[in-house]
Chains A and B, each alone.
Chain A
Amino acid sequence: MGIDFVIEKFILVIALFAISLLIAMYSTYAERKVAAFLQDRLGPDRAGPFGILQPLADGVKMFMKEEIIPANANKWLFMVGPGLAMLCACIGTAVIPWGQDMMVGDRLVKLQVTDINVGLLYIFGVISLGVYGVMIGGWASNNKYSLLSAIRAASQNISYEIAMGLSIIALLLVTNSLSLREIVSQQHGWHWNVIYQPLGFLIFMVCAFAETNRAPFDLPECEAELNGGYHMEYSSMKLGFYLFAEYINMFVSSTVMAALYFGGYNYPGMDYMAGLLGPTWAPLFGTAIFFLKIFAFIFFFMWVRWTIPRFRYDQLMSLGWKALIPLAIANIVVTGIVIAIVNKF
Chain B
Amino acid sequence: MGTSVFYFVATLSVIFALMVVFAKNPIHSVLYLILTFFTFTVHYVLLNAQFLAVVNFIVYMGAIMVLFLFVLMLLNLNKDNEPNKSALLKIVGIIAGGCLVVTLIGSLKSVAIANPLVLKNPNLGLVENLGKELFGPFMLPFELSSLLLLSAMVGAVLLTKKEEKANG
Point out residues on A near B: beta carbons under 8 Å: 77, 116-118, 121-122, 124-125, 128-129, 131-132, 135-136, 139, 147, 150-151, 154-155, 157-158, 161, 178
Contact = CB atoms under 8 A, between A and B. Distances in A.
B70 A151 contact: yes
Given A125-B57, A129-B57, A151-B70, 7 more contacts: A118-B127, A124-B58, A125-B62, A139-B27, A151-B74, A155-B70, A158-B67
Contacts of B57: 122, 125, 129
Main secondary structure of the interface of A (DSSP, over half): helix
B50 A117 contact: yes
B73 A129 contact: no
B62 A161 contact: yes
Interface string B43-68: 00000001100110110011100110
A249 to B, nearest CB: 15
Contact of B73 (A131, A132, A135): A135
Contact of B50 (A118, A131, A139, A161): A118
Contacts of B70: 135, 151, 154-155, 158
A118 B54 contact: yes
Contacts of B73: 135, 139, 147, 150-151, 154
Contacts of B27: 77, 139
Contact of B58 (A117, A125, A132, A155): A125
Nearest to A178: B127
B51 A118 contact: yes
Given A139-B27, A158-B63, A125 B54 contact: yes
A118 to B, nearest CB: 5
A132 B66 contact: yes
A162 to B, nearest CB: 9
Interface string B120-137: 000000110000000000
A142 to B, nearest CB: 11
A116 B54 CA distance: 11
Contacts of A139: 27, 69, 73
B42 interface: no
B31 interface: yes
A121 B54 contact: yes
Given A147-B73, A178-B127, A125 B31 contact: no
13 contacts: A77-B31, A117-B127, A121-B58, A128-B61, A128-B62, A128-B66, A132-B66, A135-B66, A136-B31, A151-B73, A154-B66, A154-B67, A155-B70
B62 to A, nearest CB: 3
